[in-house]
Chain A
């Protein structure tokens, strides 16, 4: 039976995070920190939606570019057509979704590495298109003069907190419904999925459409908050950073991209003194995660549990009790991380 949303085991953790989010502006008051927090909120949507597409077995390297599509559509709608913010958000999100569907259709013939390669070039193409867009997109110098929505960073913050919460709730619900199950089925074996009647192409395009919708939505938020856009913010490097948030946090769990985004966006703030060398800290974290936590940062609790269990069973072995159950558990965990 399907659980109601309130009964899901993730509900309590989510509620705690939202409560912390609500309280944060009361604790940190500097404008600089507000910008960091808003950045985190927006990139939470982007990284969780990147993982959402990945659920169907597709690792997109154009996700940052789709965020750019949303940002530029919203920005241009605001600057040239003087659309109200409500309309530009819809324009950005739906525009990115439509482009996702149009490109997702031919790409859904490709799998694994070939899909990844195709999306690399799609992302490059989108950024090239934006930077050669002349006066419309502002070209390589960027697009400025986008209308703001609110006065004061606190209002922006609470608005984005709501937007992020709703977006993540929707993607969570999709993932843990039969829709997400079908995506995961395709990712595990498209042969078997086909044999039970799942339309692989349709499912994959739906996953891309939903993922791109949210990337575009976050992009629109980005445009209205910063009020100035540069194509460089959405290039391949940006996508790789988003991918890094997902991988370091843990691509196997819904919480992975959330943890990864928060930690990797806080690192440069805490290591501000290192200046341009602060990415080295992120790199060191990446290496540590790769060596110690194949499941990503979300694997820390289970690692601690395993270490505790190992100590306990050591004590039991000394007392003369065999340690078979532990060995079985460790093997299972190793296999899971391979997936």
Chain B
């Protein structure tokens, strides 16, 4: 198991956002995490990446306890993420956003950067090439010099993915990557995400758009911070619990 949560709880005041959640993600899987608004999906991401501290419970990544690690330490272990409301380095260009995200690999010490050693210059050249490649993967190769804040929403989402890819993660957490995209962009993004598995990346996606189920191996459904269903996309689609949560329970017509 690559990622595992054990009895994870998070309360805001008295309100449980995540309640006794036990879930796991295997290596090389694409797992969809779905659930209605306020189910705790984004909270789960923030707990895993150290932005929030859980009230109780444990989170393990690749056998390491990451429950109390800070965001940068979690990123260092190989978890890349995007954000739902998509903050970005707005005053940087698209290319600068991606190049800045090559902070971990290859990492150069400040002394070497200051004196611009040969190793640093080699790293920078390498980063430049890699950044252009990543832009091609996410379809932003035509706008490298645009300021990030001036991009349309769908492009900003993909820039978020590009930034996460630049940290060379073994696991990607994508928070509503399809939000605000048009159908053409959605098709492109789904293909891009599916292709990431071929490069040995494990993906956990939070999404409202049900098209995402097509590329998932397994789907976890949560509601009010608790897991209510789990299985293949087909199983989850047929699950009475899930239908009740999404469409309301009671009599069926």
Q: Do A and B come from one complex?
A: yes
A235 within 8 A of B: no
B104 within 8 A of A: yes
Q: Are A188 and B89 closer than 8 Å at their CB atoms?
A: yes
Known: A182-B100, A191-B87, A192-B89. A197 touches B113 (CB 8 A): no
A174: chain B residues within 8 A (beta carbon): 114
- Say whether chain A's binding surface is mostly helix, strand, loop, or mixed: helix
Q: Are B100 and A196 closer than 8 Å at their CB atoms?
A: yes
Complexed CA–CA distance, A174 and B90 (Å) = 21
Known: A181-B100, A194-B51, A196-B167. A173 touches B124 (CB 8 A): no
Q: Are A200 and B72 closer than 8 Å at their CB atoms?
A: yes
Query: A179, A188, A194, A200: which contacts B90 (Cβ < 8 A)?
Result: A188
Q: Are B113 and A196 closer than 8 Å at their CB atoms?
A: no
Give the size category of A's interface with B.
20 to 34
Give the distance to chain A from B5, nearest Cβ to Cβ, in Å: 19
Complexed CA–CA distance, A198 and B89 (Å) = 13
Q: Are A189 and B89 closer than 8 Å at their CB atoms?
A: yes
Give the size category of B's interface with A.
35 or more
Q: Are B91 and A196 closer than 8 Å at their CB atoms?
A: no
Give the distance to chain A from B73, nearest Cβ to Cβ, in Å: 8
Q: Are B92 and A185 closer than 8 Å at their CB atoms?
A: yes
Known: A192-B163, A196-B167, A335-B149. A179 touches B113 (CB 8 A): yes
Q: Are B116 and A194 closer than 8 Å at their CB atoms?
A: no
B245 within 8 A of A: no
Q: Are A192 and B116 closer than 8 Å at their CB atoms?
A: no
B166 within 8 A of A: yes
B240 within 8 A of A: no
Most buried by B among A1, A182, A199: A199
A332 within 8 A of B: yes
B76: chain A residues within 8 A (beta carbon): 197
B144: chain A residues within 8 A (beta carbon): none
Complexed CA–CA distance, A4 and B116 (Å) = 9
B70 within 8 A of A: yes
Q: Are A195 and B83 closer than 8 Å at their CB atoms?
A: yes
Query: A177, A189, A197: which contacts B72 (Cβ < 8 A)?
Result: A197
Most buried by B among A1, A177, A189: A177
Known: A1-B128, A177-B116, A179-B114. A196 touches B88 (CB 8 A): no
> What are the 10 closest A-B residue pairs judged by CB atoms, nearest first?
A194-B71, A197-B75, A197-B104, A196-B101, A189-B87, A199-B72, A188-B89, A197-B103, A178-B113, A177-B113
